[in-house]
């Protein structure tokens, strides 16, 4: 048979256990709130990273496009120079096209200087910032 003192001891133990469970539930709720907040921050950081990555890719594409245009212009300028200084070994139609482009620039040196200026600008814009 259980004595009243034993009942009181069991009741106190149950009360202590109940309090401990309530405290654990409060700590669990706090931990869950912190987890949710961390997940929100991570989600925001991921969105920022994706946006930054997309912007960087767009900038890189623009730089690549400028470098490609400068390279193409340089190739045309070199071909034109070749056509003018070795005209007897080149296609006469290409020689005429080259002469026209050079005349539009004013002279061979002006034409080459213009191509070089574009090259320098493209290279400057292609540097990492």
The SS3 call for residue 54 is helix
Say how many C-beta atoms besides its own lie within 10 A of residue 88's C-beta: 7
pLDDT band, residue 12 (cuts 50/70/90): confident
Whose CA is closest to 74, among 114, 105, 115?
115
**Region 37-58 average pLDDT:** 91
In whole angstroms, what is the distance from residue 46 CA to residue 42 CA? 6
What pLDDT sits at residue 94? 93
- pTM of this prediction? 0.56
Give per-residue pLDDT as tens, 64-104.
Answer: 888 888 889 889 998 998 898 899 999 999 999 999 988 98
Q: Longest C-alpha distance within the chain, in Å?
A: 125
Contact (CB, 8 A) for 77 and 68 = no
């Amino acid at each position: 048979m259980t004595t009243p003192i034993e009942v009181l001891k069991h009741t106190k133990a149950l009360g202590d256990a109940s309090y401990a469970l309530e405290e654990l539930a409060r700590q669990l709720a706090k931990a869950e709130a912190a987890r949710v907040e961390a997940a929100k921050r991570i989600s925001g950081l991921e969105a920022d990273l994706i946006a930054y990555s997309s912007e960087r890719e767009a900038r890189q594409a623009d730089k690549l496009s400028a470098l490609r245009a400068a390279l193409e212009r340089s190739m045309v300028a070199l071909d034109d120079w070749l056509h003018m200084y070795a005209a007897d070994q080149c296609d006469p139609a290409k020689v005429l096209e080259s002469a026209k482009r050079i005349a539009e620039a004013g002279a061979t040196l002006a034409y080459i200087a213009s191509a070089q200026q574009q090259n320098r600008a493209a290279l400057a814009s292609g540097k990492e910032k």
